[in-house]
Structure 1
Amino acid sequence: MMKIYEAILDILVKMGTATIPVIYKEMSEQQSSYLRTEEQIVEQAYIRSLISRNKEIFSLKDGIVSIRPEREPIMLTVVMYGYPGPERRIKVDFKTNSFTYFEWHLDSLCQGSLIAPQPGSVEHFKKQLYSFNCWEWQGDYQAEGIIVDGTTWSVKLETKGNKFESGGIDSFPKEWKDFCRAITTLIGKEFPCGPHA
């Protein structure tokens, strides 16, 4: 069952903005299980409370609920490489609902499939992105000690209200493995987390 928080995000991603009664109505029409917890039926007051508690993502002004501009993704660019390769780059454009994936190998004899992968959904990936809190990642992650042939990565996230950049060498945010799994699902091809993630 989808969590109520995820259902609200889903509705706002599709509609842009909505009132609490409209969100409640959409949830009622989509699936009644959205509106039930284990012990009680969820009312509009609970939805309002949930939105008010999540001010870092939701904005409630004059009865209109929206995703805060600094949390509304427009473009995401991820780069990851290490010696001897490969270098992987993905660019997700949330405005056009599309992505590009590029993989470059130093070894010309590298084994690899040339068959186009079966991609996932950009909309689904966008909903997952909120749970990774990329906008709260540190700017620089570094493993302790001397690093030889480490995995280098960078993430640039542009939202309607801000730009966030993060990167590192052999050190990653706690959400990194789930983030890489979501990218794997999106591109339809393994996107490894790195050796120490």
Structure 2
Amino acid sequence: MKMYEAILDILGKKGNATIPVICQEMSGHEQSFVSENDLVEPSYIKTLVSSNKELFLLKDDIVSIRPDKEPLLMTVVLHGYPGPEMRVRIDFKRNTFTYFEWHLDAKATEPLEVGTYGSVEDFKKKLYYLKLWEWRKDYQTEGIVVDGTSWSVKLKTKGRTYESRGLDSFPEHWKEFCQAVSVLVGKKFSC
């Protein structure tokens, strides 16, 4: 885990925090970044937060996640010909998700089995790496597509809403994104 990921983890659990609180939490973090008797220096945390203005706000030694980067709700839709259509709705505030799968043919798969599902918190950490806020609004291939894969992602944060969609064309980290959704819902999420 990188230092900024640990800070995101701390802020996710505690909300806004002062630099001394972050230092104290970092020193006692389960994946400690320092040896037993050392402490994380406030100046180091301040430099780290100041250099990562894309994710963090720093005002009067209080660190927070930028409102436009703090996820509240996400909806993902994936549909390939001849199906199925898969929908996932993730509520980051309630730490819950719903998964819906719809088949157009009579050869639908068996009902979902009770199994191991991922955690919304782990998925949220993955989002910071994937930087969905940098995705374009529209991804299209050249030419006519009659049996391709269509998709859409809508991410609502505290500060704004990001929407992306596409037809047979995908953002750079699409495979990692689908893998993260698959881990979350406990079922392969791709066409």
Shared fold per TM-score greater than 0.5: yes
Contact 2:79 2:86 in 1 (8 A): yes
SS of the residue aligned with 2:32?
Answer: helix
* Percentage of matched positions with identical amino acids: 60
Residue in structure 2 matched with residue 78 of structure 1 by the alignment? 76
Contact 1:157 1:163 in 2 (8 A): yes
Total equivalences in the alignment: 189
SS of the residue aligned with 1:9?
Answer: helix
Contact 1:4 1:35 in 2 (8 A): no
Q: Deviations over 1:97-129 (max 9, x none)?
A: 100000011112223343133211111111111
Cα distance between partner residues in 2 of 1:35 and 1:67: 24
Residue in structure 1 matched with residue 2 of structure 2 by the alignment? 3
1:18 matches 2:17: yes
Segments ≥4 residues shifted beyond 6 Å = none
Contact 1:86 1:103 in 2 (8 A): yes
Contact 1:7 1:34 in 2 (8 A): no
Which among 141, 144, 154 is matched to residue 143 of structure 1? 141
Q: By how many angstroms is 1:19 displaced?
A: 1.0
Which among 150, 153, 159 is matched to residue 152 of structure 1? 150
Residue in structure 1 matched with residue 61 of structure 2 by the alignment? 63
Cα distance between partner residues in 1 of 2:80 and 2:189: 13
Cα distance between partner residues in 2 of 1:32 and 1:102: 36
The TM-score normalised by the length of structure 2 is 0.93
Contact 2:23 2:40 in 1 (8 A): no
Residue in structure 1 matched with residue 26 of structure 2 by the alignment? 27
Q: Deviations over 1:112-166 (max 9, x none)?
A: 3431332111111111111111111100001122212010000000001101100
